[in-house]
Structure formats: C-alpha cells, structure tokens
Amino acid sequence: MIIAQKKRKENIAEYLLYMWQVEDLIRANGFDLQRIRENVVARYDQPEAMREAISRWYAELIDMMRSEGVMEKGHVQINTNVIIALTDLHLRLLKSPKEMVYQAAYYKTLPFIVQLRAKSGGEEVPELETCFTAVYGFLLLKMQGREVTKETTEAVQQISTFLAILASKYTADLNGELPLEE
C-alpha cells in the first residue's frame, strides 16, 4: 500500500508493474490474508496501525480479485484502468505534432511489440499491455536467476525506455504540463 501509493504518484509504469507483482504475491499466498500478514505485512517496519491498514488493503485486493474472476490470471479492473488511461494518452501523443520524440520512441519499439504479439498465441492484448507483460516477464526471469538472451534484453531495454517516456508524459499530463495539439 505504501509503496503503491508512492509509485502511483512518481511513476505510473513502475506502479503498474508493482501492482501486478502484488496480484501474483496474493496468488502465491493462496488468497489467505493470514499468510499475507505473516509473510508480507509483518516485514514492514511500520506502527501497528499502519500494518493493519496495509492488511486491509490486501484484503480489499483479495476481494477484488475474487469478485472480478482473476484468481488464476489476469488483472483487477483498477490495474486494467491504468492500461486504458495510458493507451488513451499514447494515442493522443501519436497524433500530436509536438511529440516527435515520443513518436520516434514508439516506432523504434513497435517491431518488438509486433514480435511479442505474434508469440502470444493470437491473444488480443493492447499494445501497451504487451509492453508491460514483456517487462514484467523479464523481471520475473531475472528474479528467478534464469538466463535471458541478449536479444530479449535488448528488446526489454527498448520497451522500458519507451514506457519510461510514456510514464513521464503521463505525469506531465496529470499536472497539466502537457499541451498537446491534435
């Protein structure tokens, strides 16, 4: 909860990746709030009242995941809404004559997106979700100590650069500092 709030304000891309990790953490703990309290919340160096608030946050996410049918895979609507908001901004940036740097970053990333979507087995996933899935998968492989090919590393670096630019534009847009002409 504390980390999520901080990341949401500072970097929407990191926030989304963190929230996907939280969803997987809930799954790994079998949707058992007591296990999450023992394995996760107890490790926070926070006063008891804050740890209780964090536990409630996890309980709410568990309820959302159950009610939205994303217990095995997928993402809760609050996370899907981030992808939707980023996609909206992405499309506006692509139309804006002022955003040539963003557009160049996108077109440099596009071949990797196309490759990843081709490997996804025909599943229709938004382009940005494909990007986040690639970065998240890469992070999981690195945490597991598994070997990652040079090509994959290069692709994820380009995708990460692109997402960082988008995240920066998102923050600027939220702060009213992104005048786009369409």
Q: pLDDT tens for residues 104-122?
A: 999 999 999 999 888 877 6
pTM above 0.85, yes or no: yes
- DSSP one-letter code for 96: -
Residue 182 has pLDDT above 60, yes or no: no
The sign one gets for the Cα dihedral 88, 90, 94, 97 is positive
pLDDT in tens, 115-160: 988 887 766 788 999 999 999 999 999 999 999 999 999 999 999 9
Integer angstrom CA distances of residue 88 from 8, 93, 126, 158, 173? 17, 9, 11, 21, 11
Question: Domain residue spans in the chain?
Answer: 2-67, 81-174
Reported as type and span, the H/E element at residue 144 is: none
d(CA 64, CA 40): 19
Please name the residues in contact with 171: beta carbons below 8 A apart, sequence gap of 6 or more: 10, 11, 12
d(CA 172, CA 182): 17
What rounded mean pLDDT belongs to the chain?
Answer: 93
**pLDDT, position 4:** 87
